[in-house]
Structure 1
Amino acid sequence: MPLTAEQSAALVPQDQRLAQLYAGSCKACHTVQDSLAPLTGNRTQWDPRWALGEDALLAAAIQGKGGMPAGGQCFECTPDDLKALIRFMAGRDGATK
């Protein structure tokens, strides 16, 4: 069963730096169903995207896609940060509630 927006909003990256980057940029859209962004931790929404490969997801994050601005408006994020944030949001990395 897919996560609700409330369950998604409760997820936080375990790494403190990533948690700060996530809270400052990604969380605003990736925990709001109406944003059309795939909800953090919702494998039902992320699995088809994940199937495209991490390189494709990173390129979309860097360039922007649909309503998502380039870099997700994370001005401090390095490509490695974006990779880690994508893994977290796609449910492929550790999260705490």
Structure 2
Amino acid sequence: MSNHRPLRLTRFAMPVAALAAAVLLAGCGKQGASVDPEKTAELIQPVARVELKVQKIAPGSRTGEQIVKSVCSGCHDAGSLGAPKTGDAGAWGPRIALGFDALTKSAIAGKNQMPPRGGLGDLTDTEVARAVAYLANKAGSSFTEPPVEQ
């Protein structure tokens, strides 16, 4: 008979524990009147914010250096995809020998894996010419970069 006694206590204790848990959980869903929504919003603000500002540059107003640094350097600085490295006179020599106009024309139309206008479709022909002059001059040519009109 002593074997049945712990079983009777377990049968009694389980419903009591379940009832106590139900009573405790029933009060969890209620919000107190002391919650301040403004304080709550202040406490959950992010630590930092990122604000993006779009700068529009008028087409035709960029210098060769600006274009090369923002567009062309991605490939020409590292020599990616067969692009002649910036400042490499040996690689640029045969290209410079073609002349400024031929070099500019191929940059506008695209050459090998370089897309037309270096991939930046809003470049004007004059801006492409400025970038070509800037890159070629870094490799030893003496092309005159078209002036920026204001």
Structure 2 length normalisation: TM-score? Answer: 0.46
CA change 1:20–1:34 in 2 (3 A) is closer
Contact 2:68 2:135 in 1 (8 A): no
Offset at 1:84?
1.4
Partner of 1:58: 104
Partner of 1:73: 119
The unaligned stretches of length 5 or more in structure 2 are 1-60, 143-150
The unaligned stretches of length 5 or more in structure 1 are 1-15
Contact 1:21 1:74 in 2 (8 A): no
What CA deviation, in whole Å up to 9, does each residue of 1:63-92 have, x standing for no partner?
111000011112232111111111111124
Higher relative contact order (CA 8 A, sep 6+): 1
Secondary structure of the residue aligned to 2:62 is helix
Query: Partner letter of residue 77 of structure 1?
Result: L
Percent identity among equivalent residues? 35
Aligned match for 1:32, one of 73, 78, 81: 78
Partner of 1:17: 62
What CA deviation, in whole Å up to 9, does each residue of 1:24-72 have, x standing for no partner?
2111100113421011122111111010111111111111110000111
Greater Rg over alpha carbons, structure: 2
Distance 2:103 2:126 in 1: 12
Structure 1 length normalisation: TM-score? Answer: 0.68
1:83 aligns with 2:135: no
- Report which of the two has the higher share of strand: 1
Contact 1:29 1:37 in 2 (8 A): yes
RMSD (Å), alpha carbons: 2.0
Would you say how many aligned residue pairs link Structure 1 and Structure 2? 78
CA change 1:34–1:74 in 2 (3 A) is closer
Following TM superposition, where does structure 1 have runs of at least 4 consecutive aligned residues deviating by more than 6 angstroms? Answer: none
